Amino acid sequence: MPQGCYNKTRIRQSRKGWEKGGMMSTFRKMLAVLAVLLVTGCGVHRYAHDADVSGYPYRHADFDYKYAWKTTTTDQGVAIDGVMKNVRYPYIDSIILKVEVLDRDGNRRSGASDFPHPQQTREGDVSRFSLLLRDVRPAAGDSFRFTVHYTGNEGSDQKINWISIFTADALTGTIIRPPGKTPDRW
């Protein structure tokens, strides 16, 4: 049999094998896996390290998080929207943010909680939060008490259960520090 005829026969046989399901079935499976990876790729995308905080007039920096937020008065109460950036731990999860409105005597007037998104962050990642403090309008002397509870991980098997609390003036956003506690002193 001449060489050229042999090759044509072999090509025809390969095509038949491809079409009958051997190679075609494998190709379809690979295509399906690729499609799933493309669709779920958005779910595993890392969030940007930097967030534009120019729209957030109020800020606070702590050893574990940097915070930026804004307030909006609505018919239903006060909305607080903001971001928080992990600046301490290689890995943080199980984040709960609670904000309370306190009057000048420290009595609670309203409160709300949120689970910032994303819940799992690495150092440098930003989480977003949004909550509504119902049926309240901040007045002179009122303050917002922020309580953040999370689980931090130093990169080992041990996890750290931590709570951070800070207070800000409800009208100006100025951080209210306990008497005698200044950030620039030892």
Tokens 């669709």 map to which residue? 39
Q: Which of 7, 31, 30, 27 is nearest to 19 (CA)?
A: 27
Say which residues have a Cβ less than 8 Å from residue 163's Cβ, sequence separation at least 6: 147, 148, 149
User: What per-residue confidence (pLDDT) applies to 4?
Assistant: 53
> Residues 31-62: pLDDT tens digits?
676 665 555 544 444 555 667 899 999 999 99
Does 3 score more than 90 pLDDT?
no
103 or 18, greater pLDDT: 103
Does 7 score more than 60 pLDDT?
no
- Residue 135 near residue 76, CB atoms below 8 Å: yes
Other beta carbons within 10 Å of 174 = 13
Token pair for 28: 């379809």
User: What per-residue confidence (pLDDT) applies to 108?
Assistant: 97
User: What per-residue confidence (pLDDT) applies to 180?
Assistant: 72
Q: What is the CA radius of gyration of the chain?
A: 28
- Write out 44-70 in H/E/C secondary structure: CCCCCCCCCCCCCCEEEECCCEEEEEE
Other beta carbons within 10 Å of 54 = 7
User: What per-residue confidence (pLDDT) applies to 42?
Assistant: 46
User: What per-residue confidence (pLDDT) applies to 8?
Assistant: 52
Domain with CATH 2.60.40 in the chain: 58-176
Least trusted range by pLDDT, from 21-25, 81-85, 164-168: 21-25
Topology adopted by domain 58-176: Immunoglobulin-like (2.60.40)
| 77 conformational bin, left if phi > 0, alpha if psi -120 to 50, beta if neither | left
